[in-house]
A and B are shown apart, each in its own frame.
Chain A
Amino acid sequence: MKFGVIVFPGSNCDRDVAMVVRDLLNQPTRMVWHEESDLSDLDVIIIPGGFSYGDYLRCGAIARFSPALQATMRHAEQGKLVLGICNGFQVLTEAGLLPGALMRNRDLHFVCDRISLKVERTDLPWTQEYQKGQIITLPIAHGEGCYYADADTLAALEDNRQVLFRYCDASGAATPAANPNGSLNNIAGICNRQGNVLGMMPHPERAFDPMLGNTDGRNLFEGLLLGMQAIGTR
């Protein structure tokens, strides 16, 4: 399966992601400059973390209009996989590929930490290599990761089981104290209704290489490969 990593001016996790999918997972991978408009050769598009276009106006607001993101929207419409990490999640909500918005952290600080997450659902390519209810640790690093959606949207997200990752304490309880940024319902990552678009604030690519001391992000990428193979044999 072929991966594409979108590079906006201001992206800064693009090479970390490429390191994982190209060098550690040995998948064909290309960097996609934001001005590219033909992404039809790709199976998975990853929108990395960083500060696309300086995050001017609002995080992700300007990236949405780039040719690469327009092509990503067509890619998503075809049911193909799209992963937005951190700034990528913000871009996906601005683009309307995911509901809600990401706002300034509750305590106004940029939070750089390792946090516990509960894996809420394992019947999608993204999470199938995890156990349901498994508690994993991933790094976060963001100033605007407070997930907000109106009450109806939030209820729909829960009813349709679109929350894949939730901030939790060591026992798996989604408490306010375990919530690093004030996200509603402790939301750390959600998918769209169809399940092919995932946005998450934590960085799974920073928890893959054992040299970094944490491999809890590994199952996400490895599950992705299995999921793609399964889709391919159907």
Chain B
Amino acid sequence: MPVSIVSLNKTVTQTYQARIYVTLRLSVLDPAGTAVQSGLKHLGYNNVERVRIGKYVELTLTADDEAAAKQQLDRMCDQLLANPVIENYRFELLETAEAKRL
């Protein structure tokens, strides 16, 4: 669309770094977490109660603003990075570079 081309030329995009945490839903058993918990017990950490193992993903992306970046990240997580049947996700967004003019 011509409108977006015009706006692209004028827009200042930001680079963001995202830290994405994918965790198993509470209702889902985590046999690896249970095994690690038992390992910690063997080391004497009897106070450890609930070990859950998840995934951590870092990525950088460019977007017009924070809201656009968050919207995209939500879609990425729903479509690929997490499986909503068994996993939840959350992310943090950090602005890394200022004002790269297109």
Contacts and interface: CB of A to CB of B under 8 A. Distances in A.
Interface of A: 57-58, 61-62, 65, 93-94, 99-101, 103-108, 148-150, 182
A54 to B, nearest CB: 15
B38 to A, nearest CB: 11
B60 interface: no
B86 A182 contact: no
25 contacts: A57-B80, A57-B81, A58-B83, A61-B80, A61-B83, A62-B80, A65-B80, A93-B85, A94-B83, A101-B85, A103-B28, A104-B31, A104-B32, A106-B29, A106-B31, A107-B31, A108-B32, A108-B35, A148-B28, A148-B85, A148-B86, A150-B27, A150-B85, A182-B29, A182-B31
Nearest to B25: A150
Contacts of B83: 58, 61, 94, 101
Interface centre among B28, B29, B32, B85 (most CB of A within 10 A): B85
Q: How large is the interface on B (under 10, 10 to 19, 20 to 34, 35 or more residues)?
A: 10 to 19
Contacts of B32: 104, 108
Contacts, number: 34
Closest 7 CB pairs of A and B: A101-B85, A101-B86, A108-B31, A106-B31, A101-B83, A58-B83, A104-B31
Contacts of A148: 28-29, 85-86
Contacts of A106: 29, 31
Nearest to A106: B31
Interface of B: 27-29, 31-32, 35, 80-81, 83, 85-86
Contacts of A103: 28, 86
Contact of B85 (A57, A100, A108): A100
Given A61-B83, A182-B29, 4 more contacts: A57-B80, A94-B83, A99-B85, A148-B86
Contacts of A101: 83, 85-86
Interface centre among A100, A101, A105 (most CB of B within 10 A): A101
A2 B14 CA distance: 52
Contacts of B29: 106, 148, 182
B48 to A, nearest CB: 19
A129 to B, nearest CB: 32
Nearest to B85: A101
Nearest to B24: A103
Contacts of B85: 93, 99-101, 148-150
Contacts of A99: 85
B33 to A, nearest CB: 10
